[in-house]
Amino acid sequence: MKQIVTNIGLLAGVGHEGKRCLKGKEMAQLNTIANAYLAMEGGRIADYGAMAACPGLAGVEVIDAKGGAVLPSWCDSHTHIVYAGSREQEFVDKIRGLSYAEIAQRGGGILNSADRLHEMSEEELYRQAMRRVDEVIRKGTGCVEIKSGYGLNTEGELKMLRVIRRIKETTRLKVVSTFLGAHAVSRAYKGRQGDYVDLVVNEMIPAVGAEKLADFIDVFCDTGFFTPEETARILEAGAAYGMRPKIHADELASSGGVEVGVRHDALSVDHLESMTEEEIELLLDSQTIPTALPGTSFFLNMPFALGRKMIDRGLPLALASDYNPGSTPSGDMKFIVSLACIKMRLLPAEAINAATFNGACAMGLSDDYGSITRGKVANFFITDPLPSMEFIPYAYTTPLVRRVFLQGVEYK
């Protein structure tokens, strides 16, 4: 049945036909239509335009936006929302002055989450993850990447990826999955990092590939974690099973992660808190999209990625939440957009485009998601009436999302 959303105060993120992503100055163009309608059919966008040109409503399901804005759903291209329990004690440790690296060296951090995951059933892991999925959908997220990486052995990684597959199968949320066995070296391999890399390459990757559980492969390529040489070996092994790289790079130091990512045609390089201007140059002639995670910088009191400089140099930029139990226990993409404006000096239009259209690009999904475009999947949300688009990042804690639609169906 055809559906029409009427009385839209401001329809935002329209157009972008034929584009893969937005780069440089393009990112400041948030195409909008005031007093608009949006038509859907079969779960996809059929048409849109000014309300004065709205077609007849006979025999059509009418959804009244009541003057609210309509935006494409947030596309969150970097999350870890499948995890066991929480890590608030580490939050207290950070307040007392310990760094993220120091907590990891003491056996906390990722290893702490791995211990808990090994003890938890797959059913309970799914139940906990679905609470977070419900949370982010209600905040406007319609596409999400979810990583493994808290298993750190073959059984645990497969458990996580099976939960991610189940989320794909049981929700209207668009989900892509990433294998992150090289998130850290497990306790069982302490002092034997080379042997752990062998395990990832020779056992984990073939097992993941055999079940076709991952769309992408990731490595934490950074100081104290995995070297560029180890990263390259893991990415090459993943490529044999059709897993394209999306890698952690330059969070704790300028680690060579951007260079290895570009060399191996990574879809994205993510974090970039310690990125240098030289690494910006490496990305200019690549198809790799830089992805900033300002929530991590906020929560860990770290530098923010050079988002302003990347855009000014003509690069695309995506924004993602990094939702995880240790360094960013939040999947609120509206807050991520606000942080990008406040701390990275992005214009509101740039930040919204980075969290929608370019976020979709960083998951390989921009043909179907991330903008209000004819033929794309009808994932969007309706807000309370807004004075302008700039109000979204300005009112950084005000809940604005009133109704959410995924594949043209209202989420309740």
Contact criterion met (CB below 8 Å) for 75 and 142 = yes
16 is in an annotated binding site: no
Q: According to the annotation, is 150 in a ligand binding site? A: yes
**Residue 174 phi/psi, 5° resolution?**
-80, 120
3-state helix, strand, coil in the chain (%, to 5): 40, 25, 40
Residue 321 marked ligand-binding? no
* DSSP string covering 210-237: HHT--SEEEEEESTTSB-HHHHHHHHHH
Give the pairing type, strands 289-292 and 244-249: unpaired
80 annotated as ligand-binding: yes
24 is in an annotated binding site: no
Give Cα separations from 397 to 71, 78, 147, 333 (angstroms): 18, 22, 27, 11
At position 215, the amino acid (one-letter code) is D
**What is the identity of the amino acid at 99?**
S
Q: Is 93 annotated as a binding residue?
A: no
What letter represents residue 395's amino acid?
A
Note the Cα 85 to chain centre separation in Å: 21
Cα dist. 106→87, 99, 153, 259, 393 in Å?
14, 11, 20, 30, 37
* Contact of 318 with 353, CB cutoff 8 Å: no
Instruction: Tell whether 326 is in a known binding site.
Output: yes
**How far apart, in Å, are the Cα atoms of 33 and each of 5, 10, 12, 167?**
13, 6, 7, 34
Positions at the binding site for Zn(2+): 78, 80, 248, 322
Positions at the binding site for N-formimidoyl-L-glutamate: 150, 324, 326
Positions at the binding site for 4-imidazolone-5-propanoate: 87, 150, 183, 251, 327
Positions at the binding site: 78, 80, 87, 150, 183, 248, 251, 322, 324, 326-327
Positions at the binding site for Fe(3+): 78, 80, 248, 322
